[in-house]
Structure 1
Amino acid sequence: MSKDTPCVAVCMIDPKTKLCFGCGRTLPEIARWHAMERAERLALMAQLPARMADAGLSPFNTAPKPA
């Protein structure tokens, strides 16, 4: 994925928090992502780790596990 997106291709919304399990964005944020200015996207991406932690969600790790 691009460095300008937090998407990790795990697109599932938590019914309780309304946040994507993969990236921490809401559906409205995901829908307007490409219409946002780059500065707005970067500012939102900076908030996502804390947002997910506050919601009790762990960032989804897409890195392959070592053998």
Structure 2
Amino acid sequence: MSATSWVRIVRPENPRPKTSSRPDLDRGRGRSLRSPRSHRNEDRDPCIDICQFDARNRWCVGCARTVEEIRGWRKLTAFRRTALCNELKHRMNRLRRNV
């Protein structure tokens, strides 16, 4: 029989993390809390939590998307999201004029 030796790993106590002057950095360690692409408009969901649909054109009053566009948002490529966001601006203007 072979003898098993156990090794105990002791981690030193971490000193209090430094605070950063930039709020988007993780406690001065240089890692961003946000994903690198999260600042782009096409990656953000345009929903503003006003989910009421216009009966005439079936667009959401809050974001101007259809139900199908809302359901498929995560599956869209960045190019298609950008194209849809540009279209949503025009739709919102049409919704405001019709109100």
Work out the percentage of aligned pairs sharing the same amino acid.
36
Structure 1 unaligned regions, length at least 5: 59-67
Match of 1:48? 88
Partner residue in 2 for 1:15: 55
What are the ranges of 5 or more consecutive residues in structure 2 without an aligned counterpart? 1-37
Larger Rg: 1 or 2? 2
Deviation beyond 6 Å, 4+ runs, structure 1: none
**Aligned-residue offset at 1:53:** 2.1
Say which structure is richer in helix: 1
Aligned ranges 1:28-67 → 2 under 5 Å: 28-54=68-94, 57-58=95-96
TM-score, normalising length: structure 2: 0.50
TM-score, L = length of structure 1: 0.70
Determine which structure has greater relative contact order: mean sequence separation of CA pairs < 8 Å that are 6+ residues apart, divided by chain length.
1
- Match of 1:23, SS? coil
Alignment check: 8 A CA contact 1:14 1:21 kept = yes
Secondary structure of the structure 1 residue equivalent to 2:47: coil
